Amino acid sequence: MIDVSVCTDLGEIHRLWQRHWPRRCLFDLWPVRACFQKRFQHAPHVLVARRKGQFCGMLALSWIDEGHYYGHFPGELWHGKTWLEQNRILAADEESFQALWEAVPDVARIRYLHPDGYLPENASVTMDEVGYLFRPPQYDYDFTRYLGQFSGKTRKKFRCEIDRLNRRGVSFRYDTLSDVDRLFRLNLDGFGDDSYFSDPRFLGAFEDMVVWLSRHQLLRVTTVLVGGEIAAVDIGAVWNGIYTVVAGGTGKGFPGVAKLINFHHLEWACRRQMREVDFLCGEFNWKNRFHLTPRPLYQMSKLVSIDGAGEPAYASQQICAAC
């Protein structure tokens, strides 16, 4: 017999998370999630399963009032969808999972589920989006060997673009916190309303996360200067042998600088013998062209209209990966 309780107290949720949640990637860390909880203030609704009083499962949800549905904690929202990746359902076995799933409210969309969490083998699980990884061990930490995956014609094209920048004078600097503000501006200039940072809640959460990462020596800020002018800035975090690139911005008038900074990340990861570089989800053509390894993430949905709750943000349980 599995008993499922609902926890809504953030202090108790914090304790449960610290005790039971794995810490395999950046987004598993409670302080990272807490940055988004602080800014979005969505009501937590965490399901905890116990068998004979012993913990056997957990599903961390939040009520997302803008969309009238439950999503994975902390329910941060960007363009109607949650953003934090590699979410998980913790369940000791099928019985524990079924008890948790039966307790999930009837308007829920749980996105970006990592396959190393508990996922049932049935039609309620659909593919969500695809993340892209670079795995240095695959190339014996040899960046030159990685470059050998490209055709000679493609390598020549890349080299010509980068050489044009080098002739203007390329230099790098690292971990200059003031460059993060420049990243936000570059990203907003480049994407406008489609930028994460056009939402002040999202911007505030990122600012808080950068401060926490810097304080704990997990932050990596990479800035490319061309002719002494900032041409690109990326921010990422290093945790558990994984370098996660979370945001970036490039200036106008520097064609090829995005390729330059991305190759720089990959070369650095090889030199540092990182296990993985995670470029997250997002359909950007360069990710395929760079021969990155695709990793699908999954979603589960209960999207049944509830009287008084308004229409769910998404009407179909079978949601394609491209939406």
pTM over 0.85: yes
* 304 pLDDT tier (thresholds 50, 70, 90): low
* 8 pLDDT tier (thresholds 50, 70, 90): very high
Whether the predicted pLDDT of 319 surpasses 70 = no
3-state SS assignment for residue 52: coil
DSSP string, 134-158: E-GGGGTT-HHHHHTTS-HHHHHHH
DSSP for residue 187: H
Region of poorest pLDDT, from 100-109, 116-125, 146-155, 298-307: 298-307
Give the pairing type, strands 276-281 and 69-72. Answer: unpaired
**Residue pair 60/42 in contact by the 8 Å Cβ criterion:** no
Domain boundaries, given as residue ranges, for the chain: 2-124+297-303, 136-274
Architecture of domain 136-274: 3-Layer(aba) Sandwich (3.40)
Q: Which CATH number fits domain 2-124+297-303: 1.10.8, 3.30.70, 3.40.630, 3.40.50?
A: 3.40.630
Whether the predicted pLDDT of 311 surpasses 80 = no
Closest to 46 in 3D by CA, of 75, 80, 81: 75
pLDDT digit string, tens, across residues 222-257? 999 999 999 999 999 999 999 999 999 999 999 999
Q: Tell me the C-alpha distance between 40 and 72, whole Å.
A: 13
Of residues 322 and 247, which shows the higher confidence score? 247
Residue 299, phi-psi category: left (phi > 0), alpha (psi -120 to 50), beta (remainder): beta
pLDDT digit string, tens, across residues 103-143? 999 999 999 999 999 998 776 899 999 999 999 999 999 99
pLDDT digit string, tens, across residues 59-82? 999 999 999 999 999 999 988 889
Q: Do domains 2-124+297-303 and 136-274 have the same CATH topology?
A: yes
Q: How far is CA 252 from the centre of its chain?
A: 26
Of residues 113 and 308, which shows the higher confidence score? 113
Q: Tell me the C-alpha distance between 205 and 172, whole Å.
A: 27
Cis ω before 294 (30° cut-off from 0) = no
Res 315: pLDDT: 31
Q: Residues 275-293: what's their mean pLDDT?
A: 91
